[in-house]
Every structure is written in C-alpha cells, then in structure tokens.
Structure 1
C-alpha cells in the first residue's frame, strides 16, 4: 500500500511520520524522531541545517529498509528563517536562528523609516523582531557576506526541499510569515524590498500548497539507494499544516496550535488588515486552499522548556510530567507574567528572567520549581483567553470553544486550565497536527482526498479528541482580573 511521508520540524524537535489511508481512516507510524538543537558559535545562534538534512535522509532510509513504497513527501517547519544559496547552488553560511540577537533594534529602525501603518497595511503581519524582514535588513545593512554572494533566498522548508530535489521554490504559507509578502498583490512587496535593499529575484517564485515542487534528486537517490519520489510543497509553515488538521465540524472555528510557540486564531477567506487588527498586533498568514490564518503568535511553551534547561544546568533534572505535577501542587494564582514580554524572547536563564519580570511588576518571587511552572502555565492560559476574546472582536463571531492541536496538548493540565480561563470547552487533538495536515495536503494533491473538508472529516474519525469542560469559573474570572492588573495588559 502506498504511503506518504511527512517531515515535520518544530523549533525543538523533528520527526518523519508515515501515513496511509485505510477504509477512510488515517494510520500513522513514526519512523524517525530527532532533536533540533540550535548551536551557539561565539555570540551568534544558528540552526544546524546540515544535521537536519542528515536526519531527513535517515527518515528516507528507514522507509526504504521497511520496504515501504512512498507516494510523495512533504516538509513543514517553523517560520521566518532562511538560507542563502550562491550561483553555484551552495549554501552560504549557517542560517541564523530567529532568537539570535543580530536583529536587535532593526524593527524599531524600519518602523521609524516607513511607519508601522505602512508596513502593516502592505503585509498584515504581526510586528515581531524575529520576522524575516528584520533579519534580511540586518544582514544587508551589516554587509553580510551571505547576501553579497547570494543568488537565492530560500525559506527554511524550501531550503531543505532544495537539498533533496535541486529545485528552488518558496511556498505561500511560509512566504506570508516573512513580513515582506503582500497578501493583496499575492507577491513580494517591492517597497519593503527596496527599503531593505533586497532584490526580489533573490526570493523567486512562490507556489501554493499542493504544488509538486520537484522529485528526489538523482544524487539523493544514488546516495540512499532509493527510487525517486515526488516532493509536494505542502502548507510548509508548520502552523499552516496544523490548521489543515483541525478536526472542526464547523466552517467557523477557533484553534490553538500548541508547542514551543502558541498560535491562536481562526481561518478566514480574506486577510483582516485594519486599524483594530494592527492595534491588537494580529497577523494574517497564508493558509491552504485560498485561506488566511488570522492569529496571534504567543511565546508558548518555550519559557517552560528554557526554564527546564536552566534547572538542568544547576543539576536538577525534571521530566515534563514531573514539572506538571509540581505545578499542580503549587499555590494557584500567586504570580503572573506576560509571556510575550521581550525578557523571554532569547535563550538564557529563564527563571532569572521571570524573577526580573516579577521585580519590575512589584510581585514576589516563586519559592520553588512548581511555583515557577504554575506561573508559566496559568499565565499562558490567561494569554490565550485575551487573544481568544480579541479574535471574537475582530471577526464579530462567537466561538463555542477552542480546538487545540500539537504536542503541547499532551500537557493535560494546560488544556484544562485553558478551558477554565476561557470559560469554554476545549477540544484537544490530534497531537501530531502538523504532520497530519502535511499528509492531508499530499493526499489532496494525489486525489485520494477530495478537499480540506473531507480531510478534516477523516482526521476527526481517525484520532481521539479529548473534551475539557470549563471548571471553577468564579476563581478563574477573578484571577484573570488580577493577571491583567499585574501584567498591565488591557
């Protein structure tokens, strides 16, 4: 039986997942899982992109060694990052990690030059210092050798796809995250590119999800001893793929893709670019099949992940289930943080950054690890409520609840607290949302599924969905008021 293979790379780990359709159900097999660890070289933080290519090849080898016939392959990754290719087709330098500090101050500089209104009106993208716009501006204005010798800029999934196929295409859902793509013209924005000194030819053609964007190259096939396979440009932004996999029965729904980042939003047919969406700092990222993702990027479980690393450096190793158990035992609503504060953007001693934030807002310090974890998770849940209410205002809709997908839903405490904070139901599942959405686009491209709505029905029938009911409404409502007051969030 023919399988599809989804390479799904998040900011902390990646996986190669096989999928097949059997009697209207999806069967999954995780072939290969690997960590995705940034590498600090001097003061610069990079992605280990060649190691990631090696891991993709390991996934292909494991499929071969099991005698599996592949119908197609798709790749999705996190957003905004990229690599630069020279005239000879070789990678120039290690791609920067979006948490590197080389963009510091660049967002403010470009806003001063162009105005926030101009940038948002032309892109509809949330202002974040990590955006590709500011990364490219920083490289160009600092005379980076990468750009001086560069002939092609490939966004991260397109870069990995290029390594496998020798074909260069950037894909729409990923291109839309850059803050240099204009969703009205559906092309790269000339004014922004001219301002940062980037030739549009470097960015090349943008293809839509579902496009065949090459086949495994002869070099890759010879190296691995495998037959060539079509490579589909899926919704290559991992959230774009995750939204395809939201198992909603309604055409209007709210979702939260939960992992290192939390992305909460809704699917719309046209970008929502107006004064309200700009003032709320929402984003309009491309989706599959003519849709846009009206959403808010929230720092997510990064703060917990980085805190765990800090405790490990002190010789205190905790599993994530252990941290959740400690949080459950800690005093409720004792400390509140704005998870999107710039203090939490870069790697480092995250518990120390939390203490610094608490000092700045006149709050006491947590007394133990469980109290730190509880502060992070409760604050995340309240941030979700704030964004959920803003989505309802922007769309003038009322959503019955929130669909949560992604690896973060394995934290059942966070799911329950999100339901409590919202005062609404939460439906959690599937866990492998991005990989499943990646597969769904491949199956639609091959004609095995008719459209995204048939895909969502099949996904809903294939995977368990856990429903969480809101609890203890009065306590959570009172605590939400404290959260807004302590964090100065309106």
Structure 2
C-alpha cells in the first residue's frame, strides 16, 4: 500500500502528516510538528528557511523510522513570499515575510504609476500590499540584479530536495503577475516592476511529478526513498481540495491564521463590483477558481494569546469569551493596523478608544471582541458574496475547514450571525487536500469529486444550525464599518 506524506507549513506551525488509502477509508497520522514564525534579521522580518528545511528532514527521518521505506511527498505553504536564487543555485538570503513593513503604503505608490483597476482586470487578484507584485516593486534592485531565479516558498523547498525548479500555478496566481485570460505571465505588469519573465521557473499544474529526493545531499539523515509531487502548493488551494462537499450550493471558510471566505467556481469574476469589494480569483487545482475574500482571521486571537504569554489555551480563551456579554464593540478586523502590530491587545484597545467604544480589558472581553467581530465580518462578507455571484450560487451551507473549525464557539456564533448552516471540519483540511491530490496524481482516485467523497466518509463534520440573532447588530456593524472606512479615506469626514 502506497504511503503519502503532506508537508504542510503555515505561518505559525508546520507538520508532516502521513496517509494511506485502503479502498474504504483515508488514514491520517501526524508524524512531526514544529513551530514557525518570522524573525527580524538583516533589516527585515524574515522566515528562517534553513530551520524549515531541517525540520522537514527530521520529519522524513521519523517516517523512515516508522518502517516506511518509500513514500510520495507534497509541500504546501503560505503564498506570495519568495526566495531569490543566484546563477550558482544559491539562495540570496532568507525570504522577507509578507507582514514586514516594507510594503506599507506601497499600493498608493504603485497607483501613481499604474491603474489599480487595470491591474485587477488583468489578474483578478485582490489588492493586498504584500502581494508579490508589490514586494518586487519595493525589492532591492541590486539584489534583484544578482538573482537568476525567483521561487515561491514551497517551490524553493521542492528545489532544495530535488534540484528541480518549477512555479506551481495555484500559488503563482497569488503573485498578481499572471494574466487571468492568457494563463501566463503578463508582460505589461512585469515591465511595470522592471522584472523579466526569465526570472521565473516554468509554470506547472498542481499534480505534477517533481522528482526524487537527492539522498546524497542529505546523507547524514536516514531518509526513505521519496518521490516529490508538486501539489496545490498554496495552503488555501489544498484546504479547498480537502473540503468534503459537492455541487455548487456551498461556500467555505478556510480558517487558520487567515480566514479565506468564498466559493469554488470555474469562471473568474473580474467585475467592477468584485474590484470594489476587493474579492480575489485565485487559481485552484483541476481548472477551478477560488473566488474569495481575505479576512484577517485567527491571527488576531493568536497574537492576543501570545501577548498574554500563552497563559490561556485557545479553548480556554473561547470559554472565557462565551461567558462574557457579547457585541460590546465593533472592530474592522481587516484594518491594516492589525496586520503586524507591536502588541495586538494594545492595538485593539486603542482602536476602541479612538472610536469611542467600551474598551475590552479582561482576557474574556478581549477574546469576545475578536470572536464577535470575526463572526460579524463573516456574515457581512457572505451577503456580499451572494450579491456578487448571483442566485446561481445561493449558499445552502458553509464549510469551515482548517484549525479554526475546532473552535465550536466561533462556529456557532458564525452560524447565528450568518443565519447559515455550518459544517465544521476537517481541521487538517490543508494536509488532507495535499494528500488526496497526490493520490489523484498516482491514480488512486479518478477525480476530485471521488476524492472528496472519500474525505467526507473518512472525516465526519460537526454541524451547527443557526439560532435566533438580532439583525440590528449586523446592520449597526455594517454602518459602523462604512463610516470608519470613509473616515480613513477622508480624515475630514466624521
């Protein structure tokens, strides 16, 4: 029986997950887990890439010690960040993290030279200051001149282990450099940031065999005979593959450090309305499109926990929140001030003072503020999503997958606010999506639909039905956001 390993690395942690398919059920076993974070180094917030390589090798060694002599492996990570490689194949320093402040105000600067609406019409990708196009716009030109190739993080890791350079399409679409119509690099956009197409490795589809692990390069480790498959290497793309649904009447929230709320479709929506609402059309596996909204997500509560010295676990924070009166504050969770503040608790409290609201003080009040406003944001964005996609995509159910699906309190709160049935799980949807795409590639499943049926059978969901909810809260929240964002555009407007 073939063995498959998902190397799934997020912004806060990584893991190696092992799976097999016995024609009845998918198994899932955690082999190795490790922390991940950026650090301030050489002038920027950077990812410690050699640490990630070492942890992957430790995990693969554990696979071998578990008695697995050979396996298939796929790698997924977060999007947009990259490594620069010189003409000798060496990395030019650790990659800068997307939360680094070097791209503060970059969209405004770029818009002085290039139309943002044209950028969206070409790519269908939402405007985010950390998109690769904007990172390259502010990149050190001397460093770029030394670079022979640019590889996104999962493609770079694949290169380290196999010596093969590729650019996987689902992740590449997030760079905001690919033309949605031609499915290739947009020469006009490359010229706008003074980058040539030969900086990038060849584009490949998700589900492409990459190559064998270079055992000689890592001879100090006892490793299995490993074949790497280029999966849907953007973690959100893998998470949506791992969502156990069918038909067209469902939506999803991939809930982790970020919350990605949207639908799976076949045709991009590059309308003026989608541009105004900053929705994105990221490419998925098997010629699908992830039409979605990027929401700040569980990063908020992760940072709250960190600045309480991890005194409370996430379940404990949820319990404290549930015991606290709700909807005492309105917060724009997507305000850029929450992207990478020095202290998330202080930032939330300052926001409330500036907007003349009750300031949350206790751990329960702070957690409740975060969870209430995430649920309100989800509900609001679901309304926008249905308006943007029309009656053909009236949603009957919402799947919440990823680590956030384990938060029963937030799931029920979302069901209540959105007045939508929630199916929560699996929590490891990203790893599962990574694994089943490998299985599709080698022929164990004939299609994505068949693989999703196996996921649904193997990993049952928890269902949350909507309860009564005061719609005035949602109406007042939306009015608050409208006023707050207008104030940001025009400081003279109150």
**1:204 counterpart SS class:** coil
| Aligned with residue 223 of structure 2, among 220, 226, 247 | 226
Once the 2 structures are TM-superposed, how far is the Cα of residue 144 of structure 1 from its aligned partner? Answer: 4.4
> Residue 402 of structure 2 contacts residue 429 of structure 2 at CA under 8 Å; is this kept in 1?
yes
Query: What is the alpha-carbon distance in structure 2 between the residues aligned to residue 446 and residue 164 of structure 1?
Result: 20
- Structure 1 residue aligned with 2:454: 458
**Aligned residue runs from structure 1 range 381-420, under 5 A:** 381-396=375-390, 397-420=393-416
Once the 2 structures are TM-superposed, how far is the Cα of residue 386 of structure 1 from its aligned partner? Answer: 1.4
The alignment status of 1:151 with 2:145, answered yes or no, reads no
Once the 2 structures are TM-superposed, how far is the Cα of residue 23 of structure 1 from its aligned partner? Answer: 3.1
Q: Which runs of 5+ in 2 are unaligned?
A: 486-494
**Aligned residue runs from structure 1 range 469-480, under 5 A:** 469-473=465-469, 475=470, 477-480=471-474
TM-score by length of 1: 0.96
- Structure 1 residue aligned with 2:373: 379
Alpha carbon RMSD of aligned pairs, Å? 1.4
Once the 2 structures are TM-superposed, how far is the Cα of residue 400 of structure 1 from its aligned partner? Answer: 0.6
Once the 2 structures are TM-superposed, how far is the Cα of residue 282 of structure 1 from its aligned partner? Answer: 0.2
> Residue 333 of structure 1 contacts residue 375 of structure 1 at CA under 8 Å; is this kept in 2?
yes
> Residue 306 of structure 1 contacts residue 348 of structure 1 at CA under 8 Å; is this kept in 2?
no
Query: What is the alpha-carbon distance in structure 1 between the residues aligned to residue 70 and residue 110 of structure 2?
Result: 46
Query: What is the alpha-carbon distance in structure 2 between the residues aligned to residue 318 and residue 144 of structure 1?
Result: 45
**2:374 counterpart SS class:** helix
**2:233 counterpart SS class:** coil
Once the 2 structures are TM-superposed, how far is the Cα of residue 472 of structure 1 from its aligned partner? Answer: 2.2
Query: What is the alpha-carbon distance in structure 2 between the residues aligned to residue 218 and residue 168 of structure 1?
Result: 17
Query: What is the alpha-carbon distance in structure 1 between the residues aligned to residue 354 and residue 196 of structure 2?
Result: 43
Deviates more, 1:69-78 or 1:121-130: 69-78
- Structure 1 residue aligned with 2:111: 111
Once the 2 structures are TM-superposed, how far is the Cα of residue 290 of structure 1 from its aligned partner? Answer: 0.6
The alignment status of 1:321 with 2:318, answered yes or no, reads no
- Structure 2 residue aligned with 1:331: 325
Query: What is the alpha-carbon distance in structure 2 between the residues aligned to residue 251 and residue 432 of structure 1?
Result: 23
- Structure 1 residue aligned with 2:6: 6
> Residue 229 of structure 2 contacts residue 438 of structure 2 at CA under 8 Å; is this kept in 1?
yes
**2:210 counterpart SS class:** strand
- Structure 2 residue aligned with 1:75: 75
| Aligned with residue 426 of structure 2, among 423, 430, 433 | 430
Once the 2 structures are TM-superposed, how far is the Cα of residue 361 of structure 1 from its aligned partner? Answer: 2.1
**1:378 counterpart SS class:** helix
> Residue 153 of structure 1 contacts residue 202 of structure 1 at CA under 8 Å; is this kept in 2?
yes
The alignment status of 1:93 with 2:93, answered yes or no, reads yes
Query: What is the alpha-carbon distance in structure 2 between the residues aligned to residue 36 and residue 227 of structure 1?
Result: 24
* Cα separation, partners in 2 of 1:249 and 1:158, compared to 1, 3 Å: same
Once the 2 structures are TM-superposed, how far is the Cα of residue 253 of structure 1 from its aligned partner? Answer: 2.0
Query: What is the alpha-carbon distance in structure 1 between the residues aligned to residue 280 and residue 192 of structure 2?
Result: 21
**1:346 counterpart SS class:** coil
Query: What is the alpha-carbon distance in structure 2 between the residues aligned to residue 255 and residue 327 of structure 1?
Result: 24
> Residue 69 of structure 2 contacts residue 224 of structure 2 at CA under 8 Å; is this kept in 1?
no
| Aligned with residue 342 of structure 1, among 324, 336, 340 | 336
Q: Which runs of 5+ in 1 are unaligned?
A: none
Q: Deviations over 1:369-395 (max 9, x none)?
A: 111110111100111111111111121
- Structure 1 residue aligned with 2:489: none
**1:311 counterpart SS class:** coil
Once the 2 structures are TM-superposed, how far is the Cα of residue 241 of structure 1 from its aligned partner? Answer: 0.4
| Aligned with residue 300 of structure 1, among 297, 322, 327 | 297
- Structure 1 residue aligned with 2:178: 181
Query: What is the alpha-carbon distance in structure 2 between the residues aligned to residue 109 and residue 302 of structure 1?
Result: 27
**2:175 counterpart SS class:** coil
